[in-house]
Amino acid sequence: MPHRPQAPIAFHSALVALLLLALTGCAQLGLGSSTGKDAAAPADTAATNPPYNASDFRDLLIPGELAWNRDKSMIIRTDSYAGGVLNFSGRVEIASLSEFFVQNMERNGWKMAGSIKYKQVLLAFIKPAKTCTITIADGNLGLNTEVNIYITEDITKRDQAATGGSTKPSGY
């Protein structure tokens, strides 16, 4: 009786893992079966999703195509400081997002302090007692764009500017 060599168990396990990985990749790329809940193209979502303000930062406008990722975001508030990291993602082109932020930040009183554009985009803005840095990058195999917004506000400086620079109560 001839002896036929059997493939090692590790080979079979690796093959199964590779197949599962391929199927997962196809699902993420939208190549698998359709459930009828396909994401709309960016042009379609622009008409149905108007821009909105970040709730804790009223002078920060977010494109309606972007969804807030709560698990990747944090907001910090103390007596003297407000800020945080806000993470958003969606199917939007980097160039159009960059243009959106530049135009709308300036409309909301922000001054552009600088920008870097290569594979990713970094936009830096300032206001009295506030800074905002926005990074825009491809994520998830180029099918999803990720936006990180780093925003800070020195509340003591803001309050001093509002009271004319005096921190003492009136009557002193």
Q: What is the pLDDT of residue 90?
A: 95
For the residues 132-150, what does the mean pLDDT come to? 90
Q: How confident is the model at residue 1 (pLDDT cuts 50, 70, 90)?
A: low
**Sign, Cα dihedral of 159, 162, 163, 164:** positive
pLDDT at 79 over 50: yes
Q: What is the pLDDT of residue 156?
A: 87
Q: How confident is the model at residue 85 (pLDDT cuts 50, 70, 90)?
A: very high
Q: Which two tokens stand for residue 114?
A: 């600088």
Q: Which two tokens stand for residue 43?
A: 């042009």
- CA angle at 135 for the pair 132 and 136, rounded to the nearest 5°: 140
CATH number of 58-159: 3.30.310
Strands 81-90 and 74-77: antiparallel
**CB atoms < 10 A from the CB of 10, how many?**
8
Using a pLDDT cut of 90, give the percent of the chain over it. Answer: 51
Q: What is the pLDDT of residue 157?
A: 81
Q: The whole model's pTM is what?
A: 0.65
* 117-147 CB burial, b ≥16 within 10 A, e <16: eeeebbbbbeeebbbbbbbbeeeeeeeebbb
Element at 73 (helix H, strand E): none
Hey, where are the domains in the chain?
Answer: 58-159
Q: Of 21-35, 72-86, 132-146, which gets the smallest average pLDDT?
A: 21-35
Q: How many residues does the chain have?
A: 172
Can you tell me which residue has the tokens 């821009």?
A: 51
Q: How confident is the model at residue 163 (pLDDT cuts 50, 70, 90)?
A: confident
- CA angle at 118 for the pair 117 and 121, rounded to the nearest 5°: 45
Rounded-to-integer distance, Cα 138 and Cα 159, Å: 38
Query: Following DSSP, what letter does each residue of 6-48 receive, concatenated?
Result: PPPHHHHHHHHHHHHHHHHHHHHTT-S---S-PPPPHHHHHHH
Most confident residue range from 34-38, 88-92, 138-142: 88-92
